[in-house]
Structure 1
Amino acid sequence: MTELPVLYSFRRCPYAMRARLAVAASGVAVELREILLRDKASAFLETSPSGTVPCLKAGDLVIDESLDVMIWALQQNDPEGWLDMPDLGHELIAQADGPFKAALDHTKYHTRYPELDPEESRANAMAFLSKLDQQIGDNPWLFGDMPSLADMAILPFVRQFAFINKNRFDADTGRSLSNWLEAFIGSERFAAIMPKLPMWREGDEALRFEHAIAVANP
């Protein structure tokens, strides 16, 4: 088997989700290694400068940031045109990765931040989601009829926020954003990047990403 780029991942991590989404959309073959975050493999720690997922190693190249993994894959092959989006898409990703993610964490893990009001944190997160709802409008995606890098970079974190309290989220969220999230969660693309895989160990046989579902569900 030809040596493939290696993608270290963790199924439930939203950063790893968005990296897998872009790799799947690009069709670029990688070896997927599922990492146990509380017992990280030595090969992973030797590769990843931060010790976090996702981390991609392609020859001498190491990419340790999820958005950079997405762009790496799509620059090789972007059949759905995810990179073809307005500058606003990059601005929304920056807001999602910055203030929204902070508000998400302050809401979900509020006991770690006793100095903060979780309701105020939730309101800050909802303000960003309201902006996304208005941007989507009557379209299925942020910028029209087709998904973009911004959609797939942001959706895993919107999903994470929604499931803090799904009933409350559904009651408070605009129709456009709710439909956007539900379409993503119910999509074949999302299912394709979420198989339950065994944790990778040194010496395990290489698992090509496109065969992950077949291996997980023989």
Structure 2
Amino acid sequence: MSAESINPVLYSLRNCPYAMRARMAIYQSGQAVQLRELCLDSKPVEFLTASPKGTVPVLVLPNGEVFEQSLEIMRWAFGTHDPDNYLISDNSNKQQQMLRLIKLFDEEFISSLEIYRSAKRYHDESLQECREACEQYLQLLEQRLLQHRYLFSDNPSLADLAIIPFIRQLARVERQWYLNSPYPKVRNWLNGYLQSLMFSKVMAKFPLWSANDVPVIFKAE
């Protein structure tokens, strides 16, 4: 059996924020996966067989177990190997706070962000109102980042990786507004990730996958 065949398979899409955060967790936890970059306009049979829902990311373990949600993949990665304590496993209270923050952003902020992006795209008169709906979440992050370098301490956590791709999206909606907004700590936090070696590796371009290709192994080097 080849080394590649025992690695989990990750179906991914380079610019999808959900796939991005899954890849960041895999990279930071030191896992190695077969990366299968997809075009969602032409979904391979293998992908749809593993996950009929047809959205990325999807992780297929060698034993056939399938994870279809990005947060599940992140928790699998750090649950397997977490040398830098991204799960804050030594502090159950802080860990629960972290999971609640992620849930808040996943269930509320992302919806507000999509409305904001749509308002900008279609030149909606409600653009400012949509932006202000997102700002309450930026204020929450700014307050946390005034206290320490990352969201829960001076060390990064699962929450940082889970939320950062969506703040990256927000920063691109009205670039000039964002650069002049009263959230300098959020900007520094985001820039730190965007300029990191980790992010450059996570965002590297790979050819679209097909069944006859030599496996692409994605891992920290």
CA 1:114/1:169 → structure 2, altered by over 3 Å: closer, same or farther? closer
| Cα distance in 1 between the residues matched to 2:116 and 2:199 | 25
| Secondary structure at the counterpart of residue 198 of structure 1 | coil
Question: Which residue is equivalent to 1:152?
Answer: 161
CA 1:116/1:105 → structure 2, altered by over 3 Å: closer, same or farther? farther
| Cα distance in 2 between the residues matched to 1:183 and 1:194 | 15
Of 26, 29, 49, 1:26 maps to 29
Of 54, 65, 80, 1:76 maps to 80
CA 1:129/1:45 → structure 2, altered by over 3 Å: closer, same or farther? same
Confirm whether residue 51 of structure 1 aligns to residue 61 of structure 2.
no
* Alpha-carbon offset, residue 115 of structure 1: 9.4
Question: Which residue is equivalent to 2:105?
Answer: 96
The aligned runs of 1:1-218 (5 Å cut-off) are 1-2=2-3, 3=5, 4-58=7-61, 59-84=63-88, 86=94, 87-110=96-119, 117-210=126-219
| Cα distance in 2 between the residues matched to 1:162 and 1:47 | 34
| Secondary structure at the counterpart of residue 142 of structure 1 | coil
* Alpha-carbon offset, residue 207 of structure 1: 0.9
* Alpha-carbon offset, residue 135 of structure 1: 0.9
CA offsets 1:55-81 (integer angstroms, 9 cap, x no match): 000022000000000000110000111
Which has the bigger relative contact order, CA under 8 A and spacing at least 6?
Answer: 2
CA 1:50/1:113 → structure 2, altered by over 3 Å: closer, same or farther? farther
| Alignment check: 8 A CA contact 1:8 1:33 kept | yes
Paired residue type of 2:114: D
| Cα distance in 1 between the residues matched to 2:82 and 2:27 | 10
| Cα distance in 2 between the residues matched to 1:173 and 1:14 | 24
* Alpha-carbon offset, residue 116 of structure 1: 8.9
CA offsets 1:133-159 (integer angstroms, 9 cap, x no match): 001114221112110000000001100
| Alignment check: 8 A CA contact 1:11 1:196 kept | yes
Question: Which residue is equivalent to 1:216?
Answer: none
* Alpha-carbon offset, residue 45 of structure 1: 1.2
| Secondary structure at the counterpart of residue 11 of structure 2 | strand
| Alignment check: 8 A CA contact 2:12 2:56 kept | yes
| Alignment check: 8 A CA contact 1:136 1:176 kept | yes
Q: Tell me the C-alpha RMSD between the 2 structures.
A: 2.0
How many aligned residue pairs are there?
212
Paired residue type of 1:75: G
State TM-score, norm by structure 1: 0.91
| Alignment check: 8 A CA contact 2:12 2:37 kept | yes
* Alpha-carbon offset, residue 95 of structure 1: 1.2
| Cα distance in 2 between the residues matched to 1:40 and 1:9 | 11
| Cα distance in 1 between the residues matched to 2:184 and 2:119 | 27
CA 1:56/1:200 → structure 2, altered by over 3 Å: closer, same or farther? same
